[in-house]
Structure 1
Amino acid sequence: MLKKIVGTTGTRLLNAFINLAILLLITNKIGSEGFGVIALIMVDITIIQMLIDLVAGSALIYFSSRANIGQLLFPAYLWIGLVIAVFFGFSIFTQVIFPVLYTTIVPAGFDLHILTLALLNALMITHYNLLIGRERIKAYNIIFTIQILSFLGVFVINLIILGDQTPLSFVHALYIAYGAGSIIAFFTVLSKAGPLILKGWKGILRQVIHFGYISFLANILNIGNKRISFYVLRYFTGLSALGIYNAGVQLTEGLRIIGQSISLVQFSSISNSDNREYAKTLTIKLMKFTLILTLMAILILLVIPESIYTWVFSKDFTEVKPIIIALSPGVVALAANNIFSHYFSGLGNPKVNMWSNLVGLVFTIVLAFTLIPLLGYIGAAITASVSYISSVVYQYFVFKKETQTRFTDWIPVKKDVSDFVTLTKDAIKKKV
């Protein structure tokens, strides 16, 4: 268990350092307005993926050990193609009928890029989910590392050697990274898939949708919680302010790698077990580790002087520190949210996540249209933190009711620390 966690965390840490390098390149070479364009591109891709997740999302992780790979891949590919086609038609319709809305959501000249990248990203994530579901975490980590390194390499070449200091340099790097990730993961999935069986895929599809539609709705609400403020901020303050806010988001939400790495292995383990007591104990223990590590990382960001941020990210980003301060409580809540969400999904009960995200979305909608016009990106940061906290508070009370957990169970004790240190040393000795 911990061996997989350490391995995944190592990969995610590498990803965090690469993302930091990418952030430095963007802020110093492309600037705040260009970063605002990049932010919109990534949010648009995320929204398309959100709909694709109905058939090709986390439900694949759950069913990958319960169905033949062919029965999962075939409907996933069909659904991906359908969603991309629908968005293509919708983009044409919106551009003609609602041009102001369209330009707020889609950066000018990037519509076809967004659709193509969304297709590649969907294929990549589909293959990743199948690897995770079959507990091939090591293979997933290797491919993910190749993906992020290929992105950085191409991005540096575009910026430094070719001199393309525009958002297009970022887009072209995404093509290579998503393409490499999807192709390598595809052949890795097939390498141990055995004979591919298509017969019965319709029945499996119905099961996937039945299981996945709740996660799908939860994901829609989750994306709304996290990214609706981007569009509101873009509308009221422009691309430059969005770029500055996105820099703060990237720095703080980059700390999610701690919770993401741990919860990834947590979900894989829980979804392959029927022992609810094991799931409860594992979740509580991993929650403690996650929150402690996240708090330590947040404190490091908070003690860095504002002048250092300005020096590192250029004068366009002088207001990053206040954004980080406002986002910090939300980042801690996100870490807890990751653990709770994977607990409920792993037990086949994603409805809890859906309702928690709905709670957060209510706060997001009310506060975004209230605080952002008044406070700009600081208002967006406060909105995000309140939304994340409200979501995780709901999850906490549901978990407490279902498992009869006492508050004292969450308090770290000396044994927790010693267990974690011992297990980490053992994992390192095994050369993860």
Structure 2
Amino acid sequence: MWGSEGKGVISIVIADLTIISFFANIFVGSSMSYFASKFKVEQILPFAYLWSVIVGILIPVFFSFNHGSEYSNYLIVLSVLSSLLATNVNLFVGQRNIKMFNLYTVLQQIIHIVFIVIIVYIVKITSVDSYFIAQISCFGLLFLVSAFQVLKQCNFKNISFSKEIGSKLFDYGWKTQLSAFLQFLNNRLSFYFLEYFKGIVSVGVFSVGIAFSEAIWTVSRSLSVVLYADVINNKNSNDAIEKTKVSLRVSFLITLLFIIIMLLIPAEVYSMIFGKDFNQTKEIVLFLSPGILAIAVSNIIGYYFAGINKLRILNVKAIVGLIFTVISSFFIIPKWGIKGACVITSISYCLSSTLLFWRFYQITDFHIKDFILSKAEINLLLKKVLKK
């Protein structure tokens, strides 16, 4: 409906929103999960809520001075609501309530689509604005519901702002978010280079391939969150390593299966679904596939290191990938355009993932079987999938 230009606008605004979320996540991200079992909810929740509002207003205003203010009002509301919702969802992870985490993750997609359908076909707002209005409605609704679940367990008399607790939240949060932000730049910097050198339309086309990558990573990220919740509550380091290896091989094999399936789909199908502007989608996925597989593995290992509070290696691996992305983008994207962005992104993913993989296997033994599921594990996996 909105074409490659509309998709490009959405991609840039959502990229801005993601950048803002990294600043917000200093208090509302993994620090909420990490300290949920160490402090009372009343001691950490006020920091996260207040920080969400401050960051959600100030940073979008700053962005509006740099690249226009056409969508800045949407960005402010989205930033505040998404951060408040993330606070509650990450609190569920820290409490090992993975069922609620999964539920809200799925609902964010489903309810967003429902609101888009209502706004486009019933309210008759057919511009790109409908995407952002629907997303605001989705975040607002889910925040209210999740806040009710969280706050009904709180004793409001115990709500406080402790300097010591705030300092611990900030110290853990900025270290994890620095790594995540650098990795995000690896994932999204090509958008900005493409927009500068080739225009917003090329961003729209490229972003569909990236969206498929991130859809495939859903398995890896889901396993990572479960692993992270287990590691931060697990005192047995050997048990944590073994669970990491199991998660690693499940992620590797399922991701490989999804990539093969996507590459078997004819290019014409992608054009039929997304429009003639997106006939390069299969080719983009092909160029990105080595990097997609690499990140699927490194996501697991990265969450293991975060769970044991070994954050330096996460920053190092992200910096290595980022340096390659920045330097190569100046030379390759102007000449090769979207294909160049794919190659750069894939190599960057592989470089950073290899470094993390090497560090993990410095502290543990490497075996080829780490990437092969045993018969018992296959049966257990099938049983869990069928049960769900």
Is the structural similarity TM-score above 0.5?
A: yes
Does 1:329 pair with 2:290? Answer: yes
1:64-91 deviation line (CA, Å, top 9, x unaligned): 1111111111111222222234325424
Residue 128 (1) aligns with residue 89 (2): yes
Give the partner amino acid of 1:34.
G
Of 234-243 and 186-195, more deviation after overlay is shown by: 186-195
Q: Is the 8 A contact 1:68 1:196 kept in 2?
A: no
- Give 1:104-253 correspondences, 5 Å limit: 109-193=70-154, 197-199=158-160, 201-253=162-214
Aligned with 1:165: secondary structure?
coil
Q: Which residue of 2 aligns with 1:16?
A: none
Match of 1:342 in 2: 303
How far apart are 1:195 and its partner, in Å?
A: 6.0
State the match for 2:336 in structure 1. 375
Residues 27 and 47 in structure 2, CA contact (< 8 A), matched pair in contact too: yes
2:377 is aligned with 1:423: no
Contact between 1:154 and 1:173, CA under 8 Å: does it hold in 2? yes
**Normalised TM-score (structure 1):** 0.86
Tell me how far apart the structure 2 counterparts of residues 196 and 213 of structure 1 sit (CA, whole Å). Answer: 29
Amino acid at match of 2:384: A
From 395, 406, 410, the equivalent of 2:366 is: 406
Q: Which amino acid aligns with 1:137?
A: I
The equivalent of 2:315 in structure 1 is 354
d(CA) in 2 for partners of 1:399 and 1:332? 17
Q: Encode CA deviations 1:285-341: one digit per residue, 9 max, x unaligned.
A: 111111000000000111112122222221111111211111111111110121011
> 1:91, 1:298 → 2: CA distance?
36
CA distance in 2, matches of 1:216, 1:250: 22
Secondary structure of the residue aligned to 1:254 is: helix
- The alpha-carbon deviation at position 385 of structure 1 amounts to 0.7
- The AA in structure 1 aligned to 2:370 is W
Distance 2:242 2:120 in 1: 48
Query: Which residue identity is paired with 2:102?
Result: N
User: Which runs of 5 or more structure 2 residues have no equivalent in the other structure?
Assistant: none
Shift of 1:422: 2.4
Residues 253 and 371 in structure 2, CA contact (< 8 A), matched pair in contact too: no
Closer/same/farther in 2, CA of residues 202 and 370 from structure 1, 3 Å limit = same
CA distance in 2, matches of 1:65, 1:191: 18
Q: Is the 8 A contact 1:230 1:242 kept in 2?
A: yes
SS in 1 for 2:38: coil
How big is the shift at 1:201? 2.4
CA distance in 1, matches of 2:59, 2:41: 27
What's the CA shift for 1:189?
1.8
* Cα separation, partners in 2 of 1:363 and 1:272, compared to 1, 3 Å: same
Could you tell me which of 76, 91, 100 is aligned with 2:48?
A: 76
Alignment length, in residue pairs?
A: 388
SS at match of 2:171: helix
Q: Higher relative CO (CA 8 A, sep ≥ 6), structure 1 or 2?
A: 1
Structure 1: gaps of 5 or more residues: 1-28, 96-101
AA matched with 1:420: E
Match of 2:247 among 261, 286, 290: 286
Equivalent residue for 2:37?
65
Change (3 A) 1:175 1:411: closer
Counterpart Cα distance in 1 of 2:212 and 2:129: 22
